Amino acid sequence: MPTGEVTRPGPITRVRVRELSGASGRDRRDDLATEEPLEIRLTAPDGARRTVAITMRTPGHDFELAAGFLHGEGLAGPGDIAAIAYCTDEDLPPEARYNTVTVRLNGPIPELPALDRHFLTSSACGVCGSASLDALRDRCRPVPRGRLELSPDLLYALPDALRRAQGVFGKTGGLHAAGLFAADGTPVAVREDVGRHNAVDKLTGWAALTGRLPLAEHVLMVSGRASYEIMQKALAAGVPVVCAVSAPSSLAVELAREFGLTLVGFLRGERCNVYAGAERVQA
């Protein structure tokens, strides 16, 4: 079914604002980070279909977001996905078609405990009721020690490198970012979104769809804090080092220590805290 003259949402929405300064004011244009829902649907060769997630996201890299979400939750890996496309089902109004992604699987829709409910997520909190550490132990193994060793100077350079790559943030000031860096600090890929977890899903999806998983020799740098959801997604992608501008949560530190991840928080200027995996940092 053709989509008609439907406008595809972009990452930036322009609005008019009244700017006040002291006792004076003026009207001007302002750029905002777009926030729109994205529904992720699964279909199987036997015709079965199911909605597994509705997340608030910044439009862009939607197929990567879907693939990354499915991989991070253990629902579908790169080899399980036959195709990803925007949905044109007849039950969908035209204005929602660029906000609905259908992932066609090579096999049946998985019957996992996670599918006993729909994942309803927001741009702020990550997956509500996300899998506990007990469930994570059933499907994820600890990250191998590997050869990755990082100098403090390399870590200190990551926040500025991430910020320079944030094109939409530069215009709106309202987006989080996740950046993937090589062992020498070279940026590999950066994704932006109103949600930290979505930005990480976009990175993971990019790696999954381009055959780069696991990301064993890479560093993940995120704006904001390091939550349990961020660490869970990094673990599923095989990323051994996660760095964050702000603090981690207690569960994020517990996950990192149990599964052999290096977790760096409060990475600002030439200071940081290493909460787990300090053996990968050459102090």
CB atoms within 10 A of CB 208: 24
Which residue spans within 9-133 are E strands per DSSP?
12-21, 24-33, 36-43, 49-57, 81-86, 100-105, 119-122, 126-127
How is residue 140 written in tokens? 């994820």
Encode 109-122: b = buried (16+ Cβ within 10 Å), e = exposed: bbeeebeeeebebb
Which positions are catalytic?
Answer: 125
Q: 271: annotated binding-site residue?
A: yes
Residue with the two structure tokens 């062992």: 183
Q: 147: annotated binding-site residue?
A: no
Q: 119: annotated binding-site residue?
A: no
**147 three-class SS:** coil
Indicate the annotated binding residues. Answer: 266-271
